[in-house]
Amino acid sequence: MEKLVAAHRTLPFNTWVRVVNLNNSQTVEVRIIDRGPFIDGRIIDLSHAAAKAIGMEISGTATVRMEVIRAPEGAPAVAMFAVQVGAYRERANAEKARADMASRFGAARILVRPENPGVWRVMVGSETTEEAANALLSRISQETETKAFVVRLN
């Protein structure tokens, strides 16, 4: 929380981005280390230190512009995207959701990230473009009550 880091749904981990608070023109450079934000309409989730650096630690949100300033070395040539349909603290609940999604939409799996153990995420699909993942998201959203979103897997 006290480092200049952020979460983004699709940028590769270790990508550096410049974030500009459009309300006050303050900028901060952050490294992408996590996935998120998981709230519609938000494009990046800043650490406390980064939010403070651009004057949004009190409001918690701001209108920002974001630009990639450095991609990580050795980033995979082909990006892989999926639709996250849930995150569960109980593995049995994640497995039930995975089985349901697999029967309805094809490939589905459970992922656990080392930086967040004890949370099982259910991912559907394995798409090579963000557009294809968004098409799958649209289908899932139309056919289920699930609040889902596209994430980059690599």
CATH architecture of the domain with range 5-70: Beta Barrel (2.40)
Question: What is the CATH number that goes with domain 81-152?
Answer: 3.30.70.1070
pLDDT tens by residue, 35-64? 889 888 899 999 999 999 999 988 889 999
Q: Which two tokens stand for residue 122?
A: 């259910």
Give the Cα separation of 23 and 152 in Å (integer). 29
Sequence-distant (6+) residues with CB within 8 A of 103 are none
pLDDT tens by residue, 75-93? 777 789 999 999 999 999 9
The pTM assigned to this predicted structure is 0.67
Whether the CB-CB separation of 152 and 12 falls below 8 Å is answered with: yes
Using CB atoms within 10 Å of the CB of residue 5, give its burial: 0 to 12 exposed, 13 to 18 middle, 19+ buried: middle
pLDDT-derived band at 18, boundaries 50, 70, 90 = very high
For the chain, the domains span: 5-70, 81-152
